[in-house]
Structure 1
Amino acid sequence: MDLVQILPHVNASLNGLATILLIVGFLQIKRGQEVAHKWTMLSCFGVSVIFLGCYLTYHSLLEGHGKTFPDYPPTGVRYFYYGMLLTHVVLAAAVPFLAVATIYYGLRDNRRLHRKLAKVTFPIWLYVSVTGVLVYLMLYQFFPPQAVPA
């Protein structure tokens, strides 16, 4: 099995781990566990950076011949997939900037700006992580190319 075959599974796992860390970090801050929250969110950022490296590696190895969503699922499923993919891609472009700014204010102990920005960053980052896993599931598990009905 080569890197092109392995990386989609690695990427989905990293997105899943980021999702879990985001939720844990959210619960920690709601419980007043600031130190644990800090380290959980920094870990989440680290996982997301590793994901981005793997994602870019995967797409550079494809040389423009990426996997596309098959034609055989019902039209409603295809509309759902492409709608989700569009919002995922647009919001994913914002996450690195939002995450870096949110972390910056948190590390600088600017609680007002950190909290204000986190209220925007958290739901977007969570949505992108969850939909990243859903894109993987739809492309590689639910509707793989070899599963075309007879």
Structure 2
Amino acid sequence: MEHTNLAAEKKYNKWIVFLSIVIPLAVAALFGVNLRDLGFDVEPLTFLPPIYATINGLTALILIVAFWAVKNKKIKLHERLMTTAIGCSVLFLVMYVAYHMTSDSTSYGGEGLMRSIYFFILITHIILSIIIIPFVLITYVRAITNNIERHKKIARITFPMWLYVALSGVIVYIMISPYYA
């Protein structure tokens, strides 16, 4: 049985590698593109940051409830919550890119220690948001292919990292929000 599950899991590896490379590259490429600078007549989507920050907060809450669900043997609830958390992360990403493709970047205006704290949180958030992609995909694939022991093993790494990314996204938004134009 375990051999069959590993074979099923292995079928997804190319997609995991592909998405783990393409998503960060696409985000980086699109982040540097402002449609207004290219001559497109689009309104800046300045209403999006509080929405995608809220989605990050919701993702964190869903992850915590999903953790509780699995610890209390509510497996179906856990599955639904984790799928929802992935959906929230995708929705966040789409809104984040849309905002940055239509709006000018906002600089953090704080000084001193707060500036250092902001950039520490921002940089660790960005780095881990790239690293988390293959972890989430591998964790999810191990669950859907019923490789539960292997799923649990990587989920112990994925969960705190993903939770940090979601929560730090909210903190970054709260810290930079006074400086939005």
Q: TM-score, normalised by structure 1?
A: 0.87
Work out whether residues 107 and 179 of structure 2, in 8 Å CA contact, stay in contact via their aligned partners in 1: no
1:69 aligns with 2:108: yes
Amino acid at match of 1:144: Y
> Closer, same or farther in 2 for the Cα pair 1:3/1:30, shift >3 Å?
farther
Greater Rg over alpha carbons, structure: 2
Distance apart, 1:127 and its partner CA: 0.1
State the match for 2:80 in structure 1. 39
Match of 1:116 among 148, 153, 173: 153
Match of 2:162 among 125, 139, 143: 125
State the match for 2:9 in structure 1. none
> Closer, same or farther in 2 for the Cα pair 1:118/1:133, shift >3 Å?
same
Distance apart, 1:13 and its partner CA: 1.0
Percent of paired sites with the same residue: 32
Query: Distance between the aligned counterparts of 1:145 and 1:53, measured in 2?
Result: 20
Distance apart, 1:5 and its partner CA: 1.2
1:19 aligns with 2:54: no
Work out whether residues 46 and 99 of structure 2, in 8 Å CA contact, stay in contact via their aligned partners in 1: no
Distance apart, 1:145 and its partner CA: 5.8
Q: Deviations over 1:36-89 (max 9, x none)?
A: 100011011111111111111111223xx311101xx34010000001111010
Query: Distance between the aligned counterparts of 1:133 and 1:145, measured in 2?
Result: 15
Query: Distance between the aligned counterparts of 1:60 and 1:95, measured in 2?
Result: 23
Distance apart, 1:10 and its partner CA: 1.2
Amino acid at match of 2:176: L
State the match for 1:81 in structure 2. 118
Match of 1:5 among 21, 29, 46: 46
The answer for unaligned runs of 5 or more in structure 2 is: 1-42
Paired residue total: 139
State the match for 2:141 in structure 1. 104
Distance apart, 1:3 and its partner CA: 4.9
1:84-95 aligned at under 5 Å gives the runs: 84-95=121-132
1:54-65 aligned at under 5 Å gives the runs: 54-62=95-103, 65=104
The answer for unaligned runs of 5 or more in structure 1 is: none
Q: TM-score, normalised by structure 2?
A: 0.73
Query: Distance between the aligned counterparts of 1:145 and 1:60, measured in 2?
Result: 16
